[in-house]
Structure 1
Amino acid sequence: MGTDFTWSTLLGTLASKNELSPEQCSWAMQHMLVGDATDAQIAGFVIGLRTKGETPGEVAALVAEMTQHANTFTTSTPAMDIVGTGGDQANTVNISTMTALVVAACGVPVAKHGNRAASSQTGTADVLEELGVAIELTPEHVKQCVEEVGIGFAFAPRHHPAMRHVGLVRKELGIPTVFNLLGPLCNPADAKAMLLGVADVQRAPVIAEVLAARGVSALVVRGDDGLDELSTTTTSTVWDITNGSVVKSTLDPTALGLTAVDAGQLVGGDRVRNAQLLRQAIGMDDRAAGDSARIVAIQEVVALNAAAALVAYDALSGQGIDGTLHDRVAAKLPQVREVLASGAVAEVLKRWIVLSQELMLRQ
C-alpha cells in the first residue's frame, strides 16, 4: 500500500493546504505506530494537519489505521463511551467520569476510554486510581467489568500500546493535535453510542461527520463557555447524530429547569480533591463543610450530561428519537435524578473497585 509515499511528499501536500488521501493517512499512521517515523516527521505531520485543518476523511482514515494496532474487545451488549478531547483548560472536576458512573447505574453498559491528565490537573485514570479502581487491566478483564458491574475502564496505554511512539512528541509540542481527536474516536470496545465532548469548536463538526459515517449514535457537545462537556454555566452547542445525520442545535440548561452556576463551582483540584468531590456527589461520603453548594452544582452538570448520554444510547435501538433534543433530554432528567439520589451510583463504584482489584491480582 502506497510504497511510493514519502514523508516529504506528504508534508509538502499539507504545507500546500491540500487534503491527504485515505491511503496517505494510513501510510503515515502505520509508520508512526510501528516506530518508523522520526520525532521531526511526526511533529511535522500533526502540525501540518492542524494548520491546514483536519478533514473528516483524514480523521476517519487515521482512526481506521489506529484501530488496527489496538488491543480491542467486544461486549455482549453494545457499550457506550462518555469521553472528551480535553484541552478546555478549565480544570473542572471529572464530569465525564461521574457521568459514566451515573449512566452505568441507569443500566447502560459503559466502556470508558481514557488516560492520565494531559492538560488538566486530574485525568480519568488519575481519579479512578485514587478511588481504588485498578486501571491497568487487560482488555478481557475490562470486558468482564463492563459485563458484571456495568462499567469498565480501558486505560489508553494498555489498549493502544503503539501510541508510545508518538508520546514524546505530543508532550513536547504541548498543544492539541489530531491525536486528541483520535483517542475519543478509537474506543477499544468499538462503542456504538457516545457522548463526546469537544473543546475546539472548529473540530466538533469534523468529529460529528466521522461518527455519522461510522453509524455511531452520538451527541457531540461543547459548552459555549468552552467546556468539552454540556455546561450548566451557559448554553451548549450540540451536534446530534442519533438519527443518521448530523443536526446542530443549542441546549439551554435553564430551559430544562437547571440552575445556571458560576464556573468556579465546577473547578476541581488534584486527584485527591477530585476523588473527594466525586464521592460526595454520588453520596458515597457525607458532604464536607463548605462543599454543599459546590456538590449541588456538580450534581446538576452531571445530571445534564447523563441525561444526554441516555438519549444517545436509547437511539441505538430506535427509542426516543422523536421530538426536539431539548424534549428528549428533559425526558431523561427525572430518571437520572432518581438514580443519583438513590445511592445506586455509589454501589456501582464500590462493586467496580472490588472486582477490578480482584482481576488485577489474577494478571
Structure 2
Amino acid sequence: MSSSDSAARAWPDVLASLAAGRQLTVDQAGWAMEQVLAGAATSAQFGAFVMGLRAKGESPSEVAALVATMLEHARLLDFGPAGAPLSLDVVGTGGDQAHTVNISTMAALVCAASGVPVVKHGNRAASSSTGTADVLEELGVAIDLEPDAVVRCVQDAGIGFCFAQVHHPGLRHAGPWRRELGIPTVFNILGPLTNPGGARAALIGTSNEVLAPVMADVLAARGVRALVVRGVDGLDEVTTTGPTRVWDATGGTVQQTQLDAADLGIPRHDPSLLRGGDRVRNAQLLMAALGGGSPEGEDGDRIVAIRDAVAINAAAALAAFASARSADAGEDPPSGNLTERVATHVPVARQVLADGAAQDLLVRWAALSSGLRG
C-alpha cells in the first residue's frame, strides 16, 4: 500500500476526531507528524491538522507525540561512548512581535562563558527581525555545520549551535504551508522542545500563554529541568519591564510562579531600550553588550538595559542547569524559591558580562566553527 493510500484512509479519522473536539491518541498524533515529515501530507491535510489542533487546544500528550516523532527523524548529536554531556539550551519560540535584540543568544553565550556546556537550537527569523541563526551568522559563526562538527564545538568551545534546518530536515515540507497560514500553530513551539543535542536543562521563552504550561508538562515528562517563561509584557524572555510568569519544571513537576527583576536588584527598563534592528544592528549591539567595560556613547543606556536583561535570563538558565546537575548526581534539588535560586546566579552572569568573557568565547567559537565547515 502506498503512503498516499495510507494517508487517504487515516487522515479522515484524524481530522474527524479534531473536528469533533476529541483528543488524538498518541498513535494518531505521531502518525500525522510522520506524514508531514515524510512529505506525504498535502497542504490541505496539514492546514486542517494544525488548525484542528489549535481550535480544540493542543494537549500535552498530543504535543509529546509530535515531539517524539520529530526526534525519531532528527539528525541528533552523537558524543560517542562517553555519551552526551549535561548541557543547557536557552531558546525562545518567537512570535512576540517585539523585535528585541537577541537576548536568549547572549544569555546562552554568558552561560557557556561561565563554564556550562550549551547546545543551542535555533533557526532564522520567522516573525522577529533577526533570529539566532541570522545574528550568529553575521558574527562569523558557521551555523549550518553537520552534527559531528557541532559536537566538536561543544567539546572544544563549550557551545554549539544546532541549525533547525540541518537537524530536522523533514520540516522543510511544512515550511511553505506554515508561511501561507500566517498564524502561529503548534509547530511554533516544537523547535524548543526538540533539541538535537539532548539538552537536559533549558530556559524557554514563549509569547503563547496558553501553550506555556503544555510545553512545561512535555519537558517535565521528558526529564528536562526547564523554566518556561513569558513576560507580562508579552516578551518570550524573562523581562525587565515588569514581572514574568514562570512554569517551573526544574523539580520534575510543573509549578506556576513568578519572577520579578526588581526582586533581584535589577532595575526595570523601558521596552524601547531592548528593541533591535536588522542583523547588522543586532550583531553590533550584541558585541557591545558582551564586550565588558562601561557603556558609552549614544547607545550607553541601551547597552545597560540589554546587559540587565541578559543577566537575569542567564541567571535563570543557570538556575535550571543547577537543578539538572543535582538531579543527574542524585542529590537534593537546590534550596529556596525560584527568586532565591536565580539570585545566586546573578553575580556570575554580571561578572561574565563585566569582564568580556562571553565576547571572547564568541570569537573563539566563530573561528573554530568556520574551520570545521566542510
TM-score range, shorter chain: over 0.9
Distance 1:3 1:354 in 2: 47
Runs of 4+ in 1 over 2 A off after TM superposition: 2-5, 284-289
Aligned match for 1:261, one of 244, 255, 269: 269
**Which of 103, 112, 115 in structure 2 is aligned with 1:104?**
112
Q: Does 1:9 align with 2:17?
A: no
Deviation of residue 255 (structure 1)? 1.2
* The one of 207, 232, 237 aligned to 1:229: 237
Shift of residue 288 of structure 1?
6.2
2:315 to 280, 288, 307: 307
Among 23, 27, 35, the alignment partner of 2:39 is 35
The reply to whether residue 298 of structure 1 matches residue 306 of structure 2 is yes
- Give 3-state SS (helix, strand or coil) of 2:257's partner: strand
CA distance in 1: counterparts of 2:312 and 2:294, whole angstroms: 22
CA distance in 2, matches of 1:289, 1:135: 31
Report the equivalent of 1:131: 139
Q: What is the alpha-carbon distance in structure 2 between the residues aligned to residue 3 and residue 294 of structure 1?
A: 53
The normalised TM-score by structure 1 is: 0.96
State the shift of 1:78 in Å.
Answer: 1.6
Quote the residue 1:52 is aligned against: 56
SS of match in other structure, 2:58:
coil
Q: Which amino acid aligns with 1:69?
A: H
Q: Is the 8 A contact 2:92 2:204 kept in 1?
A: yes
Distance 1:314 1:286 in 2: 30
Number of residue-to-residue matches in the alignment: 360
Alpha-carbon RMSD: 1.5
The aligned counterpart of 1:327 is 340
1:74-113 matched pairs, under 5 angstroms: 74-75=78-79, 76-113=84-121
- Structure 2 counterpart of 1:65: 69
Q: Deviations over 1:269-322 (max 9, x none)?
A: 000000000000001798562100000000000000000000000111227621
Moved more, 76-85 or 343-352: 76-85
CA distance in 1, matches of 2:104, 2:22: 35
Give 1:323's aligned amino acid. Answer: G
Q: Distance in 1 between matches of 2:65 and 2:46?
A: 16
Counterpart CA distance in 1 for 2:73 and 2:148 is 17
In structure 1, the partner of 2:30 is: 26
From the superposition, tell whether residues 287 and 253 of structure 1 become closer, same or farther in structure 2 (CA, over 3 Å).
closer
One-letter identity of the residue aligned with 1:147: Q
Query: SS state of the match for residue 6, structure 1?
Result: helix
Aligned partner of 2:3 in structure 1 is none
Contact 2:78/2:147 (<8 A) preserved: no
1:313-343 CA distances to partner (integer Å, 9 max, x unpaired)? Answer: 0111227621110101111111111111112
SS of 1:250's equivalent? strand
Contact 2:293/2:356 (8 A) holds in 1: no
Q: Say whether the 8 Å CA contact 1:311–1:320 is kept in structure 2.
A: no
Q: Distance in 1 between matches of 2:267 and 2:293?
A: 24
8 Å Cα contact 1:251/1:326 also seen in 2: yes
SS of the aligned residue for 2:22 comes to coil
Amino acid at match of 1:253: A
Given candidates 225, 228, 235, the residue that maps to 1:217 is: 225
5+ residue gaps, structure 2, are 1-5, 327-331
Q: Does the aligned pair in 2 maintain the 1:225–1:234 contact within 8 Å?
A: yes
What secondary structure sits across from 2:239 in the alignment? coil
Identity of paired residues, percent? Answer: 56
Q: Secondary structure at the match of 1:59?
A: helix
SS in 2 for 1:221: strand
**Could you tell me which amino acid in structure 2 is paired with residue 322 of structure 1?**
S
Distance 1:316 1:190 in 2: 12
Within the alignment, does 1:199 sit opposite 2:207 as a pair?
yes
Aligned ranges 1:279-294 → 2 under 5 Å: 279-283=287-291, 287=295, 289-294=297-302
TM-score (norm 2): 0.94
Q: Which amino acid aligns with 1:82?
A: V
Residue by residue, what CA displacement relative to the aligned partner does 1:51-83 show, whole Å, maximum 9, x if unpaired? 111000000000000111110014441211101
Q: Is residue 279–residue 285 contact of structure 1 (8 Å, CA) maintained in 2?
A: no
1:242-276 deviation per Cα after TM superposition (whole angstroms, max 9, x unaligned): 11211111111111101100000000000000000
Match of 2:278 among 270, 287, 290: 270
Answer yes or no: is the 8 Å Cα contact 2:133–2:143 preserved in 1.
yes
What is the SS of the residue equivalent to 2:229?
strand
Q: 2 CA distance for matches of 1:256 and 1:163?
A: 40
Relative to structure 1, the CA distance from residue 293 to residue 284 in structure 2 (aligned partners, 3 Å threshold; closer, same or farther) is same
Conserved 8 A contact 2:292-2:355: no
2: CA distance, partners of 1:134 / 1:96:
18
